[in-house]
Amino acid sequence: MLHESMDAGLQKLIDGNRRFVSGHLTSPHQSIERRQDIITRQEPFAIILGCSDSRVPPELIFDQGLGDLFVIRVAGNILDEAVLGSLEYAVTHLRVPLLVVLGHCECGAVKATIEALELHEHAEGHLGYIVDTIQPHHPTSSG
């Protein structure tokens, strides 16, 4: 099974999430044999762009195993050059047919952005980059 179709991959994610929600995980592709199979190659069936939040690990919430998903996690699902390069690599070199952007509730990066905007403050350190990237940008009106 070199690469599955986009529809088949999406169905695998839906089925896996149903198992996760019901508590009937199968935890596939986690054996010693699987680790040996993927040493020299990877053939994920889906790319998951998700938040770094520890409460939403894609392999668990979709009940998938080693080598099944190409996961890119970044706080607030922001896109920068590294994330875009990773997406291009997965599509171009690994020929992954499905991209899922995984959102979630109670995102800390979004909360930090809202807090900074409400307080009219700039977030300190590198968190400032995330806040600046997430916050809405309004075009200036010329008058």
111 backbone dihedrals φ, ψ, rounded to 5°: -60, -40
pTM of the model: 0.83
Residue 139 scores a pLDDT above 80: no
pLDDT, tens digit, 9 for 90 and up, residues 17-73:
999 999 999 999 999 999 999 999 999 999 999 999 999 999 999 999 999 999 999
Predicted local confidence at residue 106, as pLDDT:
86
Residue 143 scores a pLDDT above 60: no
pLDDT, tens digit, 9 for 90 and up, residues 2-13:
456 899 999 999
Residue 1 scores a pLDDT above 60: no
d(CA 20, CA 36) in angstroms, rounded, equals 26
Domains defined for the chain, CATH in brackets: 6-102 (3.40.1050.10), 107-143 (no CATH)
Residue 131 scores a pLDDT above 50: yes
Tell me the range of 8-12, 119-123, 138-142 where mean pLDDT is highest.
8-12
Least confident piece of the model among 93-97, 104-108, 139-143: 139-143
Predicted local confidence at residue 3, as pLDDT:
56
